[in-house]
Amino acid sequence: MSIVPQEYGPLIGAGKEAEVYGAGDLVLKLYRQSASKASAFREAAALSIIEGLDLPAPKVQGVCQFHGRWGLLMTRAEGQTFGETIMLRPEELANRLHMLAKLQAQIHVHSGKGLAGLKARLRSDIEGGMKLPGTTKRSLLNRLERLPDGDRLCHGDFHPWNVLGSVDGTMVIDWLDASRGEPAADVCRTYVLLHHKFPMIAEAYLEVYTEVSALEKQAVLAWLPLVAAARLAEGVPDEVESLLEFVEAAETN
């Protein structure tokens, strides 16, 4: 389906992969020039699967090409991100972390049928990474094979800046990396994303998630070197040192 808006609305958000513009009652998520056509269709497909579930996620209205860039038209989410709220009002941290944990656990209740396998994605990222020697990669891949495949819906990029709203209603955005896999791996990804800049929040979130779910902390941390190694392939320069520390710690255990 091709729906091309007449003009950009105001820029309301930006990330490494895309920019988000207002488009009346909708939003236009435009992937950057470096992103492929496949990214737009992959996220559209994921959201189409998720639309049938009882989850607070945007609904796709169309896939379009606009000024040489591919994008999605989606229903609009209102409010600040949880990350913005936590930074502005630190006294809300405990409550927001509890809400986040319950939301992520709610996602994990659902089947990931129809989505790509999370372990296959981790394997591909570890194999393609440039920062690790071959022996380390082989050790990590052997470790990965011993962990469960899982069949639950995993968001793949769940963190406070990808959840908008308040106690009255929330919306989880950025489902490009949604997959089928083990919830512990998805929670570990959240932990890694938070840990670089906010290690205390990362630790607190892990504690809260294990309280609201049936997962044990060690089950989550078993994925740590693998998720960290896969994150290295994303090329975030200021995270390289801390990610390598996670990988190297596993090598000594």
For the chain, the C-alpha Rg in angstroms (whole number) is 18
- Taking residues 6-21, what's their average pLDDT? 80
SS3 assignment for 120-174? HHHHHHHHHCCCCCHHHHHHHHHHHHHCCCCCEEECCCCCHHHEEEECCEEEECC
Residue ranges of the domains in the chain? Answer: 11-75, 82-251
182-230 pLDDT, tens digit per residue, is 999 999 999 999 999 999 999 999 999 999 998 999 999 999 999 999 9
- Cross-strand bridge partners of residue 166: 169
Tokens of residue 63, six digits: 């896939």
| Amino acid 2: pLDDT | 41
What is the rounded CA–CA span in Å between residue 149 and residue 213? 19
Q: Per-residue confidence at 247, pLDDT binned at 50, 70, 90?
A: very high
Average pLDDT score over residue span 78-87: 93
Residue-by-residue DSSP string for 222-246:
TTHHHHHHHHHTT--GGGHHHHHHH
Q: Mean pLDDT, the chain, as a whole number?
A: 91
Q: What pLDDT band is residue 7 in, cutting at 50, 70 and 90? A: low
| pLDDT score of 129 | 81
Question: What is the number of H-type helices and E-type strands within the chain?
Answer: 10, 9
Q: 253: pLDDT confidence band, cut at 50, 70 and 90?
A: low
Record: fold of 11-75: Phosphorylase Kinase; domain 1 (3.30.200)
pLDDT digits (tens, 9 = 90+) for 156-179: 999 999 999 977 789 999 999 999
Banded pLDDT at 74 (limits 50, 70, 90): very high
By three-state DSSP, how is residue 193 classified?
helix
Whether pLDDT at 37 is above 70: yes
pLDDT of residue 58: 95
Average pLDDT over residues 229-243: 91
pLDDT bracket for residue 66 (50, 70, 90):
confident
pLDDT of residue 4: 47
Assign domain 82-251 to its CATH architecture. Alpha-Beta Complex (3.90)
pLDDT digits (tens, 9 = 90+) for 109-136: 999 999 999 999 999 999 988 789 999 9
Average pLDDT on 83-95 reads 96
Look at residue 1 in the predicted model and tell me its pLDDT. Answer: 40
- Residue 163 β-bridge partners: 172
User: b vs e for 39-68, b when ≥16 Cβ sit within 10 Å of the residue's Cβ?
Assistant: bbebbbbbbebbeeeebbbbebbbbbebee
The residues, ordered by sequence, that sit 6+ positions from 81 with a Cβ below 8 Å of its Cβ are 160, 161, 162, 163, 164
Query: What distance in Å separates the CA atoms of residue 17 and residue 228, rounded to the nearest whole number?
Result: 19
Listed residue (41, 43, 38, 40) closest to 57, CA to CA: 43
User: Is the CB of residue 212 less than 8 Å from the CB of residue 105?
Assistant: yes
Residue 180 one-letter amino acid: R
